[in-house]
Chains A and B, each alone.
Chain A
Amino acid sequence: AQSVTQLGSHVSVSEGALVLLRCNYSSSVPPYLFWYVQYPNQGLQLLLKYTTGATLVKGINGFEAEFKKSETSFHLTKPSAHMSDAAEYFCAVSLGKGGKLIFGQGTELSVKP
């Protein structure tokens, strides 16, 4: 069965520092992977997705993620954190026909001045 695991429920970085949010997946078929961001009391916004092709995927707000099949990972990075990046981040895998998403547990990102 497909699943995702996010390592670290809380990550805190200083403004301007590298952001690294970890996601590992388990899938019996080639995975389609997504990162979503959720601001307080708002819906989930798509940051980026990996389906096929280039393994380094660029998304919105300067985020990118690299699909590494050998490590079954899809970690999210941003070179320089901004205060506005503080939010909850969810990694997700798409299951089967119909596109249902299964989410990881989420990682809350805090950015210190």
Chain B
Amino acid sequence: AAGVIQSPRHLIKEKRETATLKCYPIPRHDTVYWYQQGPGQDPQFLISFYEKMQSDKGSIPDRFSAQQFSDYHSELNMSSLELGDSALYFCASSSQFGTGGGGRDSPLHFGNGTRLTVT
């Protein structure tokens, strides 16, 4: 079965540079989520999109922005990178439409992540 595809797998940037992470959700999934996982930490929710509209926002820095395109792929744009941005960034997708639990019971399917290293 098709899974969530993230690119690139690894990215090395210098401080103050910009980075763009891409995510291709599972076909027919209508919701995309972005998470940040620091070393030895649990994943922290950044932002989500439902049907190409921002649906929820977490602890995403103002230096970061994201969008979901007409083909449902999503991009996370990160500017003025800082050393503390070094982390594993995950994208996940799910199908919220038609779930009896209002979306809460639909599991998230995660990609393998992009490891960002800021030097």
Residues of A within 8 A of B (CB): 32, 34, 36, 41-46, 49, 51-52, 90, 94-106
Residue contact B31 to A98, C-beta cutoff 8 Å: yes
Count of B interface residues, CB-CB < 8 Å: 30
Q: List 22 A-B contacts (CB under 8 A).
A: A43-B4, A43-B111, A46-B107, A46-B108, A46-B109, A52-B101, A90-B43, A96-B102, A96-B104, A97-B103, A97-B104, A98-B48, A98-B50, A98-B55, A98-B56, A98-B96, A99-B103, A99-B104, A100-B33, A100-B56, A101-B33, A105-B41
- Give B89 Cβ to nearest chain A Cβ, in Å: 11
Residues of B within 8 A of A (CB): 4, 31, 33, 41-43, 45, 48, 50, 55-56, 58, 90, 92, 94, 96, 101-113, 115
Residue contact B103 to A45, C-beta cutoff 8 Å: no
A49 to B33, CA, bound (A): 18
A75 to B45, CA, bound (A): 23
A51 to B105, CA, bound (A): 6
Residue contact B115 to A43, C-beta cutoff 8 Å: no
A106 to B4, CA, bound (A): 22
Residue contact A102 to B109, C-beta cutoff 8 Å: no
Residue contact A32 to B33, C-beta cutoff 8 Å: no
State which of A98, A100, A103 has its C-beta within 8 Å of the C-beta of B42: A103
Residue contact B42 to A90, C-beta cutoff 8 Å: yes
- Give B102 Cβ to nearest chain A Cβ, in Å: 4
| Interfacial chain A residues near B96, Cβ < 8 Å | 98-99
- Give B10 Cβ to nearest chain A Cβ, in Å: 10
Residue contact A42 to B112, C-beta cutoff 8 Å: yes
- Give B25 Cβ to nearest chain A Cβ, in Å: 13
Residue contact B31 to A42, C-beta cutoff 8 Å: no
